[in-house]
Amino acid sequence: MAKANAFYAQSGGVTSVINASACGVIETARQHKDTIGKVYAGRNGILGALNEELIDTSKESAKTIAGLRQTPSGAFGSCRYKLKSLEENAREYQRLLDVFKAHNIRYFFYNGGGDSQDTANKVAQFGRQSGYNLTCIGVPKTVDNDLPFTDCCPGFGSVAKYVAVSTREAALDVASMCETSTKIFVLEVMGRHAGWIAAAASLAQETKGDAPHIILLPEVPFVKTTFLQKVKQTVKDKGYCVIVASEGAQYKDGTFLADAGGKDAFGHTQLGGVAPMLAEMIKAKLGYKYHWAVADYLQRAARHIASATDVEQAYALGQAAVEFAVAGKNAVMPTIVRTKDKPYRWKIGEAKLSRVANVERKMPKNFISSDGFGVTAAAKRYLEPLITGEDYPTYKHGMPQYVTLKNQLVKKKLPEKW
């Protein structure tokens, strides 16, 4: 009887370390060659299964797969595609089952955030209902750090490091120019409903009063008059003001400061533009010269300055996902469990997909300063270990060396139309 094959796919916004999780999955599966046959990767996430576009990772050398650990973005392509409920679209689930049966896929590893864990849970439920022996394991990933039941999410530590470093460096620039030129710098970072990334900018502070002077979090309602008063006082005291704003900063009624209009495939509001909006607001009311920047893809693609802790955890969770599957566990997601703050210690835990799916973990109140414009010592104790350590990629001619896969597709066995 042929050995069961595995399906692995990447979903949602990619990160600088999601490929490290892919590396962990593939390398560990290869170590279990008596149990797992081939690992097929979905071309562009779950769409790879629906379209029967399966990448044969066995065509890649051990060296190339190892190179994934230091390569950013999604090596197999990702997607924003939300599976509807079985009642709403049974046809899609039947298609997945047909593809899995055709290629003897019995293991399903889905690497993504909350919506992706929901997808993995739905597929696990359908497998059980249809009587098909399918093991589904979620692999956590999200730069927003908003998955529940895990100390942190792979991808976050590296974004946090990038934002903290960039804030410190930009602040030095503004400080040197503020006497006769720019007095305001606004950095816009990711974070729809949870302010973890913006909060991480606080790690740029070495002593009290250091930049960033203002951090705008989605968890704290934005009040224009209070904000402008804080900016004015900071410029009076320091000569300049550095602001880090989450893209999800919002008013008391829940309206985003910068709603770009439209929705993504998961139904989320498209955000962007909070930095220029704040800068113009300050200019109009206070008259200060400003500069602003949007970290955007740069923050999540910056593998050159990735956190060593983040890389290690991303790989370990991919590895654990396979070990869980081989051990017979199903419909679960491996997690990070913090056992000690200083020195930082962690281990692998697990959570049921049904509990993880579509749940957002926001910043707790004890992590937010009393004035709402910063974070507490407790927050910094939590954040600091996650950006610790450097894991530089190999360099050649001054440039980091990242791998490009063959991504050779398996021959299709089913009709194109379904």
| Short-list 7, 186, 30, CA closest to 97 | 7
Alpha-carbon 251 to chain mean position: 25
The dihedral built from the CA positions of residue 62, 66, 71 and 77, taken in this order, carries a sign that is positive
d(CA 17, CA 111): 11
d(CA 270, CA 186): 20
* Residue 94 per-residue DSSP state: H
- Preceding amide of 343 cis, omega within 30: yes
To 5 degrees, how large is the angle CA 290–CA 295–CA 298?
Answer: 145
Whether 173 and 247 share a structural domain:
yes
Q: Find the CATH number of the domain harbouring 181.
A: 3.40.50.460
Q: Find the CATH number of the domain harbouring 14.
A: 3.40.50.450
Domain coverage including residue 227: 156-303
Catalytic positions, written as ranges: 144
Whether 227 and 269 share a structural domain:
yes
Question: Sheet holding 345-352: strands in order across?
Answer: 54-56, 36-42, 4-10, 105-112, 135-140, 332-340, 345-352
Q: What is the pTM of this model?
A: 0.95
C-alpha distance from residue 417 to each of 51, 97, 105, 197 (Å): 9, 15, 20, 42
Strand partners for 350: 334
Whether 201 and 233 share a structural domain:
yes
Whether 47 and 64 share a structural domain:
yes
Whether 256 and 309 share a structural domain:
no
d(CA 165, CA 23): 27
Whether 91 and 163 share a structural domain:
no
Per residue of the chain (418 residues), give pLDDT as tens. 679 999 999 999 999 999 999 999 999 999 999 999 999 999 999 999 999 999 999 999 999 999 999 999 999 999 999 888 888 989 999 999 999 999 999 999 999 999 899 999 999 999 999 999 999 999 999 999 999 999 999 999 999 999 999 999 999 999 999 999 999 999 999 998 999 999 999 999 999 999 999 999 999 999 999 999 999 999 999 999 999 999 999 999 999 998 755 555 555 565 679 999 999 999 999 999 999 999 999 999 999 999 999 999 999 999 999 999 999 999 999 999 999 999 999 999 999 999 998 889 999 999 999 999 999 999 999 999 999 999 999 999 999 999 999 999 999 999 988 8
3-class secondary structure, 224: helix
Whether 274 and 318 share a structural domain:
no
